[in-house]
Amino acid sequence: MADTPETKDELEDATKDLRDALHQVGDRVQEDLRDAMHQVGDRVEEGVARLRPDRGIRKRPVTTACVAGALGFALGSDSGEAAMIALLLLGAALVLSNEAKVDEHDQVERV
**pTM of the full structure:** 0.40
pLDDT per residue over 18-50, tens digit each? Answer: 999 999 999 999 999 999 999 998 888 887 777
Whether residues 21 and 40 share a domain: the answer is: yes
Containing structural domain, residue 97: 54-111
Instruction: Provide the residue type at 45 as one letter.
Output: E
Whether residues 46 and 85 share a domain: the answer is: no
Whether residues 2 and 47 share a domain: the answer is: yes
Count of domains observed in the chain:
2
Are 56 and 64 a contacting pair, CB within 8 Å? Answer: yes
The predicted pLDDT at position 6 comes to 82
Whether residues 4 and 40 share a domain: the answer is: yes
Angle between helices 61-76 and 80-110 (to 10 degrees): 160
Tell me the C-alpha distance between 48 and 46, whole Å. 5
Whether residues 82 and 43 share a domain: the answer is: no
- pLDDT(16) > 70: yes
pLDDT per residue over 70-101, tens digit each? Answer: 777 777 777 778 778 777 877 787 777 777 66
